[in-house]
Amino acid sequence: MIGSVADSSGLGSAGYDQVGDALRAWAAVTNAKGGIDGRPVKVIIKDPGGDAAKARSQAQELVEKHKVVALVANDGWTSSVNAWKDYAEKKKVPAIGGNCYATVWETSPTFFSQCPSFDAQLYGSVFLAAKHGQGTKFGGLFCSEDAVCTTAKDRWFGQGYAKRAGLDPVYQADVSLSQPDYTSECIQARNAGVEILALATDSATTKRIASSCRRQNFTPEYLISTSVAEPDQAKFIDEIISAQQAIPFSGTSTPAYQEFAAAWEKHYQEPPNPLAVNSWAAAKIFEKAVRSAKEITRSGLIDALYRFKKERFGGLTVPLSYGPKGTDSVDCVFYMKASGGNWSAPQGDRPVCW
């Protein structure tokens, strides 16, 4: 029995429904093959809807009422996962995969990420923009609703990540996910000469910003995060660069990706987004831990996870190592690009490292 606490509804949750969908697809395919080493898998998914207090109570219910052996693919708001962090640590429940922007994955003895560190993701984004972008004048719009956005602004501008990567930071502004229009910010960015515009927002807001800017004849290349790089973004935005946390959701044909793609296609009609791939990767990490564990208990899984060093889980992740101090990742991300309405993965499942 495994549980998941994943925000799939509420403000800023567009696309997060695929987190639970991918976990269900993995469970269905796994059970169709006889389970994990003959053990059937049961998944219970909770949605706190962005309510941190509810997230904590749901995690507690999964642990105490349903006796889950692990919490898997816990994506959504940073505040949600932070709300039950201390509880999971106290109960020594392994949390495997989830919101890769929360720093808890890098510091907790019971949290195991499927992603590179948040800092690696942030630097990797501007590194890709500098290496593959069509200009160097860099701007950013940052949501006011979540600390993740504030951290991105601080790293790229305050701590000089963008400049160190080779970009020229010329404009930044805070925005709200509930704004009806972003014309003012688009005009200011255009007047500042921005060529690459980073958006630390949700998926729906990203589309509305691009629409506002297009009405002002401002069409920069956009730098967007994993969580908003959905398949249809390529139809709304002409040119996109995105650093992916796990293997690209399109453009690869490795056995690990094909296993995911076949399971997804069997159960769902719409194309998978990055969060679906992230959730699948978390499930596969759990699966490998179960197969490696000496006993299928919470402590047994933690011990098995601690033995993984520079593991890529069939090519689904960057090289990851786990230990009592959290997830220790290398400085790598996956590279995706959108142009002319289509996504591509120029380097396939090979991470870009620096």
What are the boundaries of each domain within the chain? 2-116+250-331, 119-244
DSSP state, 240? E
Give the residue ranges of the chain where pLDDT is below 50: none
CATH architecture of the domain with range 2-116+250-331: 3-Layer(aba) Sandwich (3.40)
Own/partner long-range contacts of 202-205 (Cβ < 8 Å, ≥24 apart): 202/11, 202/12, 202/13, 202/14, 202/143, 202/177, 202/227, 202/228, 203/14, 203/15, 203/227, 203/228, 203/230, 203/233, 204/14, 204/177, 205/12, 205/143, 205/175, 205/177, 205/179
Same-fold call for 2-116+250-331 versus 119-244: yes
CATH superfamily of 119-244: Response regulator (3.40.50.2300)
pLDDT score, position 13: 54
pLDDT score, position 9: 77
